[in-house]
Copies of this chain bind each other. A is one copy, B any other.
């Protein structure tokens, strides 16, 4: 039956036919831990792996589409029998395999060489293997007791990251969190704990009116943290940037002084290393000077740009990062690690635990037989915590530091190639002048038919081309407005599979689709 399925007719051969016929008679109750469950289990898993390896093959094949777009109502109505509804009764394992194939068929190939839509792209094979192992091990980071190897890997990797940041001997602390937004939230919490530890017990009313600062171009997670942690978004002051999207240090100092004059307490500054849209790097050293002068916490949000620390050629863009009190760094972005993999690193040891520990006796018994300083749970805001370290550790083993460096240098070379190619190309207009600092290349495109009406139609072109792009499924790139700049394309390159030919393809595809406007 599988060979009749439209989703995967290519994999039809005698061997899989046989497997399917066997699979047909099995249900989940036949799998392990069922008695005699080993054979159906192995067979089922190998069927799954065949589906997945086919998907991997196609992901890297430029002749396949990036996506097969359907509207929500179409998928909800059930595409060719793909029924998303849950029911009371079990499905056969054969149907489960069909469901898996359909899930992949109607999804988006984020590893495709022409997928440029997000900061996280690509499909690293070693990272993928690491994630398969992680889910097979199915354990939890909170104690050494049940994750001895992963806890140590996390510790060693965090230390290595701190060394690369430039903190002496890699000293400090840190933790892997479920993403950059949570990592940034940690930094605000820790800063508050450092300056006003009584807030932990007495609440925000125990502190004076605290003020935070971040770039108008920074990630919205700083704003989310201000709201969630009880500061209030009004107490997050947005800093002006230059035309390239970098914080103007003088503006920070002026706003700090203004806040102090009002009787507020400036507490925390976020400097972004690689903004989401422009890829701008705030001048960390100049910001650090101001933080030292006014006794404020300096956080560097390197969720996107932190990866450049691995490159001898590009790490100067983060000069001064070693002066930060905390750093967010997401290997799942520029370093190509599968989702999720984000770290927050803290220069001063003890703060993370001090801030978050509640000493839950049922989990963190002081009378265990091993060195319980290896139990990490009490420094997290989480209790259970997913194992995000292994895939990253394994990739680091496989590539070495030099492999990450090569990947990053290559992506930045590609973005320079793109920039050079379009900066003077007809119909293209750069959103800001000069070579991008990161792989972000921001531009408008105006099709020939609209060039005389440019100002009026600019707003609609990128959304329209993006919609056509998704419907044709050939490539994906993001667009957005920023401040008073209306919708423009933001090209980002973090995909190790991308080559110059894919960059060429993207430009030509935008032009091709634009022609029909």
Contact = CB atoms under 8 A, between A and B. Distances in A.
Interface in A93-136: 93, 95-96, 99-100, 102-104, 106-108, 110-111, 113, 117-118, 120, 123, 125-126, 128-136
A85 interface: yes
Nearest to A141: B339
Contacts of A150: 103, 107
Contacts of A27: 398
Closest 4 CB pairs of A and B: A230-B230, A203-B232, A131-B135, A33-B497
Nearest to A483: B361
A278 to B, nearest CB: 10
Contacts of A135: 128, 131-132, 134-135, 338
Given A178-B386, A365-B479, 15 more contacts: A28-B126, A41-B125, A45-B52, A86-B397, A87-B400, A88-B401, A91-B397, A96-B398, A110-B140, A117-B146, A128-B135, A185-B381, A203-B204, A203-B209, A204-B204
23 contacts: A29-B403, A32-B60, A33-B60, A46-B49, A52-B133, A86-B156, A91-B397, A96-B126, A96-B394, A106-B148, A128-B136, A178-B178, A178-B385, A199-B227, A199-B230, A199-B232, A205-B209, A227-B356, A229-B230, A339-B386, A361-B481, A362-B480, A369-B467
A487 B120 contact: no
A147 interface: yes
Contacts of A220: 358, 360, 383
Contacts of A31: 125-126
Contacts of A126: 28, 31, 44, 93, 96
Contacts of A49: 45-46, 49, 132
A179 interface: yes
A45 B84 contact: no
A139 B108 contact: yes
Given A72-B144, A383-B219, A356 B139 contact: no
B223 A181 contact: no
Interface string A350-388: 000001101011110101111100100000111111110
A496 B107 contact: no
Given A140-B120, A209-B205, A394-B96, A110 B146 contact: yes
A496 B224 CA distance: 40
Given A125-B45, A384-B179, A397-B96, A156 B85 contact: yes
A138 interface: yes
Interface string A182-226: 100100010000000001111111100100000000011101101
A71 B146 contact: no
B229 A228 contact: yes
Interface in A168-185: 178-182, 185
A297 interface: no
Contacts of A384: 120, 179-181, 332, 339-340
Interface in A51-70: 51-53, 55-57, 60, 69-70
A378 to B, nearest CB: 9
A48 interface: yes
A48 B129 contact: yes
